[in-house]
Structure 1
Amino acid sequence: MGWPYRNNPLVLLAKKGSGITINSVADMNRHKIGVVKDDVGEQQVLALGVDKKALKGSSKQPQVAKKLATGRVDLWSIKLTAAKLILKDLGYNPNDFEVVYTVSESGVYYAFSPDVDDATIKALQQGIDAVKESGEYKTIMDKYY
């Protein structure tokens, strides 16, 4: 059993200042939601009961990011870390966008070969915990994510 080293929620992202508030599936259905076809972002909002008519599919995440930035969709269903990286890569400021709804929570874990002994894994986790407690972890995460 391991501990996640960071959270990576699946969210609905909107442009800041859009005035969009999401409290229910009915709220979601009133907006154009950008998704990548057959991606977890599409699957998860459909599992919530969002009408397929509200979804605007693309084949790649950068296409959806551009649609959100240009107002062709109102929301983007994506993992938050990926959204920030894609927006930066496209030259957008991730701070110009905001989470308006968290679809699901998940963690990111390290995976180890079965031959790695528990003491090594425990030592790594203790190191990660120490970096988090020192405040350096937040600095690193803010820089890259």
Structure 2
Amino acid sequence: MEIRPATASDHPAIVRIILPTIRAGETYALDPGLSEAEAVAYWTGADRETFVAEQDGVVLGTYYLRANQAGGGAHVANCGFMTGAAAAGRGIGRAMGEHALDRARARGFSAMQFNFVVSTNQRAVKLWRSLGFAEVGRLPGAFRHPGLGVVDALVMFRTL
């Protein structure tokens, strides 16, 4: 598997990964009605580096890396990750997470923070904990899950 910077030619593959996740509304606090163009603009915005995980010419996952905040908070990285449903459970998320930590270090970030990990997204919570992230905050009832109702969101953090 190769993890590389995304190009404009990857946008259709990125859309095939991110739109079903956004539409499901279970793990990201994004409008499920985003158009393809809006979703790609969000995921590949000018304020972030976007990467794809590719195997045998097929994009299996994608992530972006950016500064969590501007100014005094710009030394802390932030990321978003999505893996295609067909690639779930194959280590793609872990590989992208490790890549993101290395890339963040290379860019000079001193920490990484996830601002809003939906507490019911147990695969993500387990992965981030295994990569050294700690739950440093809990936002009670911050996410309206379409099937489970109101659930907590976690703030997760680790130094680099």
Give the TM-score taking structure 2 as reference length.
Answer: 0.28
If each structure's helix is expressed as a fraction of its own residues, which one has the higher value?
1
If each structure's strand is expressed as a fraction of its own residues, which one has the higher value?
2
